[in-house]
Amino acid sequence: MKKALFPGSFDPVTKAHVDILKRSISLFDKVVIGIGLNSSKQALLDPETRKKMLEAVFSYEPKIEISTYEGLTVDFCKSIGAEYMIRGIRTVLDFEYEKAIAQMNHALVPEIESIFILSKPGYSSISSTIVRDIHRYNGDISQFVPKEVIPFL
């Protein structure tokens, strides 16, 4: 069974995340969405709300599983038996950042392969950070997030 992890904060999940996940599903038997808990980031939503939000967005997809984790992402990969890590790439800066992380992860756990999926051009400017900022100042985020996300905000 080919199993992959798609890690992130998903605070909140965006249409860009959904696009990467939809395009990943056909490549793997199971995709685990890993909600990484990072105490250094100021979260908008608590982990349980993020999990419920993702469950609402992907309720139709049996190949997706959702979990939270703390610590090194490669350790979480090993613990769930994932051999692949999916990362979305929006820009050249994302690529350089993700490449460095992938190389470090490979040094730590060589058997876990990083898979980069390029964002579609229409989603390349969407990030959870920007969506959070727009939301904090009462801006309309409906064009950036799936409709299932709105009730959670």
Q: Is 17 among the catalytic positions?
A: yes
Q: Is 41 among the catalytic positions?
A: yes
Q: Is 128 among the catalytic positions?
A: yes
Task: Please tell me which residue in 17, 24, 50, 119 is annotated as part of the active site.
Answer: 17
Q: Is 22 among the catalytic positions?
A: no
List the alpha helices (DSSP H) in the chain: 15-25, 47-57, 73-80, 92-108, 128-136
Question: 99: which residues sit within 8 A by CB, 6+ positions away?
Answer: none
Is 150 assigned to a binding site?
no
Is 89 assigned to a binding site?
yes
Task: Please tell me which residue in 15, 90, 119, 132 is annotated as part of the active site.
Answer: 90
> Alpha-carbon distance 59 to 1, whole Å?
22
Is 119 assigned to a binding site?
no
Is 73 assigned to a binding site?
yes
Burial of 20: CB neighbours in 10 Å, binned 0-12, 13-18, 19+: buried
Is 127 assigned to a binding site?
yes
Task: Please tell me which residue in 22, 41, 59, 142 is annotated as part of the active site.
Answer: 41
Active site residues: 17, 41, 90, 128
Residues flagged as binding site for substrate? 9, 41, 73, 87
